[in-house]
Amino acid sequence: MRRRQVLTLAAVGAAVAGCTPEPPASAPAPGASAAPGGPATGLVFPPGFAWGASTSAYQIEGAAAEDGRGKSVWDTFSHLPGRTRGGDTGDVAADHYHRVYEDLDLMKDLGLKSYRFSISWSRVLPAGRGALNAKGLDFYHRLVDGLLQRGITPMATLFHWDTPQALQDKGGWEQRDCAHWFADYAQQMFYSLGDKVPAWLTLNEPKTVVALGYTTGIHAPGKKDRRAAYVAGHHLLLGHGLAVKAFRGTGRKGTIGAALNLSPVYPADGSPGAAEQARAVDLDENRRWLDPVLLGKYPDGWLAGQPADAPVHAAVKDGDAALIGERSDVLAVQYYNPMHVTAQGGRVTKHPTTQASWLEVYPDGLFDLLTRIKRDYGDIPLTITENGMPTVNDVQDDDRIAFLRDHFAAAHRAIAAGVRLQGFHVWSLLDNFEWAEGYSQRWGLIRVDPATKDRRRKASADWYRNVIARNALA
Ligand code: IFM
């Protein structure tokens, strides 16, 4: 992007910034009560620990066809017959677009220090590139201003799976150009919002996009082509590197990194075969993403291990690895489950699971993962940007409280072991659209009524509020 365009964008951002002022202080959030306090006892976290909650645009915003928003691949995909449970879509989702101030008040009442959201690329750039949609951008100004006014640090993710459909029509992430379109969009956001947003994340879970969007096809864009998947995976990483470079180029203050979902991989038994298979799965699940982002190279043997005629070989150009390895300020870690691998390369489950059958509950895995990152990749600051569980229990979600308590304790142990863990964002703030599962899985601290969209704090929200207020786990 040329400098003249950049100045124009900055001017648009500034002009839009103040155009929709927040209404006067709203009524207390539903269920609000006096903030808990008292001396911190038990497992005390470091001062300034960033207790947070996470969401993503398509999963909560709704307003899918409002104020000039363009379609994303998820709008298209969720409207295809049979792709989501019950035919659910994100058309309305949690209606956060219209209830943003109510949600901000709920966050304030929880005592959140940090809120991690994503920007809908096609809301701010309906065609994925070109002219900014001022009304779409205005929504993010309202959100960010509202967070800052409430003392909550905004953490913006640039890509949480909702590729603009207009770019998908041009080949999407299978095209190398998509990495550049993404970096251009990122740069526009840095200029537009970067004076207020101190924490940026480039990609959310590129592994999931590759695995579910391009390999099994159960997520948008619904491809079932492993060869294309690996090309898309490389271009996603390239987009990450180019966006980090663009961030540095803007001179904006703040931090930037990627949000990677990682799973510690264990041999299912003590056999040498299981150990070998576990190493192979770890290469694909973890090192294939961590090494390029943090070390600027694909792991030894990973590319060579792809079939000789795989298109990913041609996709990886000289210099790409260094670009992907542009220095990150932070690594955002998303932890849900471990993996146990047999000598035959199969997977076994060794612990209880949740309503989401893939979510095997193993809090020690979080400790193992965090300490492993420090051991293998050095002392980069870490923040957990997702951890949580769905439950069929409604507002009395004691199982979620137990889950979070055990994972917070594992995080505390990692900090005590010297890991530079700076924050913990629970997935998710609100019940939301859980992709192919539609609204059948409810992951929120805050209940969202499926029909009325009314909000109600769950027991886990009250419990979390106490943890945050004490900065400690009792
Ligand atoms: O809802 C998702 C989120 O969008 C990405 N990480 C996993 C969550 C639970 O499946």
Q: Is the CB of 437 under 6 A from ligand 1?
A: no
3-state secondary structure 43-76: EECCCCCEEEEECCHHHHCCCCCCCCCCCEHHHH
Average pLDDT over residues 436-451: 98
Separation of first and last alpha carbons in the chain: 52
Q: How many CB atoms lie within 10 A of CB 70?
A: 22
Q: What are the tens digits of pLDDT across the range 182-226?
A: 999 999 999 999 999 999 999 999 999 999 999 999 999 999 999
What does DSSP say about strands 331-334 and 347-348: parallel, antiparallel, or unpaired?
unpaired
Q: Which atom of ligand 1 is nearest to the CA of 427?
A: 8
Please state, for a pLDDT cut of 90, what percent of the chain lies above it: 91
- For the cut 80, the answer to whether the pLDDT of residue 137 exceeds it is yes
Q: What does residue 152 show for φ and ψ, rounded to 5 degrees?
A: -110, 130
Mutate to test the pocket of ligand 1, among 160, 162, 208, 429 (most ligand atoms within 8 A of CB): 208
Q: What is the pLDDT of residue 39?
A: 56
pLDDT computed for residue 30 by the predictor: 40
CATH code of 131's domain: 3.20.20.80
Smallest CA-to-CA distance from 251 within 199, 191, 166 is with: 191
Q: Provide the pLDDT confidence category of residue 22 given band limits of 50, 70 and 90.
A: low
The gap from C-alpha 209 to its chain's centroid, in whole angstroms, comes to 12
Domain extent for 237: 42-473
Looking at the domain assignment, is residue 14 inside a domain?
A: no
Reply yes or no on whether the pLDDT at 242 is more than 70. yes
Q: Catalytic one among 205, 285, 360, 434? A: 205
Radius of gyration of the chain (CA): 21
Question: What angle (nearest 5°) sits at the alpha carbon of residue 277, between those of residues 271 and 280?
Answer: 150
Percent of the chain at pLDDT exceeding 70: 92
In a domain, 336, yes or no: yes
- Top mutation candidate among 386, 430, 443 for ligand 1, by most atoms within 8 Å of CB: 386
Is 431 near ligand 1, meaning CB less than 6 Å away?
Answer: no
Instruction: List the residue whose alpha carbon is closest to atom 2 of ligand 1.
Output: 434
Question: Is residue 56 within 6 Å of ligand 1 at its C-beta?
Answer: yes
Q: Assess whether pLDDT exceeds 50 at residue 129.
A: yes
Looking at residue 19, its pLDDT comes to 36
Residue 15 within a domain: no
For residues 444 and 6, which has the higher predicted lDDT (pLDDT)?
444
Does the pLDDT of residue 5 top 90, yes or no? no
Q: Ligand 1 center to residue 84 CA distance, Å? A: 15
Q: In whole angstroms, how far apart are CA 374 and each of 62, 366, 371?
A: 39, 13, 5
pLDDT score for 41 = 73
d(CA 262, CA 335): 6
Read off the pLDDT of residues 376-405 as tens digits, 9 standing for 90 and up: 999 999 999 999 999 999 999 999 999 999
CB of 433 sitting under 6 A from ligand 1: no
The mean pLDDT value for 270-294 works out to: 98
pLDDT above 80: residue 21:
no
> Closest Cα to residue 156, out of 181, 124, 129?
124
Catalytic residue check, 326: no
Model confidence at 35: pLDDT above 60: no
Q: What strand order describes the sheet that includes 339-341?
A: 265-267, 339-341, 347-348
Cis amide bond preceding 357, omega within 30: no
Instruction: Give residue 38's pLDDT band: very low, low, confident or very high (50, 70, 90).
Output: low
The pair of three-digit structure tokens given for residue 330, joined into one six-digit string: 């932070």
- Output the pTM of the full model: 0.93
> Is the Cβ atom of 205 under 6 angstroms away from ligand 1?
yes
Nearest ligand 1 atom to the CA of 161 is: 4
Domain assignment present for residue 166? The answer is: yes
CA-CA distance, 319 to 176, in Å (whole number)? 14
Alpha helices in 251-379 (DSSP H): 272-282, 288-290, 312-315, 320-324, 364-377
| 305-311: average pLDDT | 96
User: Is 22 among the domain residues?
Assistant: no
By DSSP bridging, strand 50-54 and strand 114-118 are parallel
Print burial letters for 165-200: b (CB count within 10 Å at least 16), e (below 16).
bbbbeeebbbbbebbbbbbbbbbbbbbbbbbbbbbb
4 belongs to a structural domain? no
H/E element, 464: helix 459-470
pLDDT average, residue stretch 258-266? 98
Question: What is the total count of domains within the chain?
Answer: 1
205: annotated active-site residue: yes
Pairing of strands 347-348, 382-386: unpaired
What atom in ligand 1 is closest to the CA of residue 56?
A: 4
Burial classification of residue 65, based on how many CB atoms lie within 10 Å of its CB (0-12 exposed, 13-18 middle, 19 or more buried): exposed
Q: How close is the Cα of 424 to the center of ligand 1, in Å?
A: 15
What is the average per-residue pLDDT within 321-339? Answer: 98
Asked whether residue 23 is assigned to any structural domain, the reply reads no
Tell me the pLDDT of the chain averaged across its residues: 93
pLDDT at 26: 41
Report whether pLDDT(8) > 90. Answer: no
Q: How confident is the model at residue 263 (pLDDT cuts 50, 70, 90)?
A: very high
Q: How many residues does the chain have?
A: 474
Q: How far, in Å, is the centroid of ligand 1 from the Cα of 431? A: 12
Token digits of residue 387: 């951890």
Q: Is residue 16 part of a domain?
A: no
Gap from CA of 208 to ligand 1 centroid (Å)? 9
**For residue 29, is pLDDT > 50?**
no
Q: Is the pLDDT of residue 427 over 60?
A: yes
Task: Kindly state if the Cβ of 386 falls inside 6 Å of ligand 1.
Answer: yes
As beta bridge partners, residue 360 has 353
On whether the CB atoms of residues 138 and 16 are closer than 8 A, the answer is: yes
For residue 143, the surrounding DSSP H or E stretch is: helix 134-149
Whether the Cβ atoms of residue 456 and residue 449 lie closer than 8 Å to each other: yes
Question: What mean pLDDT comes out for the span 26-31?
Answer: 40
Number of Cβ atoms within 10 Å of the Cβ of 234: 27
Work out the average pLDDT over 321-346. Answer: 98
Average pLDDT over residues 156-176: 99
Q: Rounded distance, CA 359 to CA 163, Å?
A: 26
Statement: residue 160 has pLDDT above 70: yes
Predicted local distance difference test score (pLDDT) of residue 2 = 32
User: pLDDT (tens digit, 9 = 90+) per residue, 344-378?
Assistant: 999 999 999 999 999 999 999 999 999 999 999 99
**Residue 85 to residue 390: CA distance in whole angstroms:** 15
Pocket of ligand 1, candidates 260, 333, 427: which has the most ligand atoms within 8 Å of its Cβ, to mutate? 427
User: For the chain, how many helices (H) and strands (E)?
Assistant: 17, 15
pLDDT over 90 at 454, yes or no? yes
Q: What is the dihedral of CA 8, 14, 19, 20, to 10 degrees?
A: 120
Ligand 1 binding pocket includes 162 (Cβ within 6 Å): no
Q: Output the CA–CA distances (angstroms, integers) from residue 200 to 187, 190, 254, in the order listed.
A: 11, 9, 8
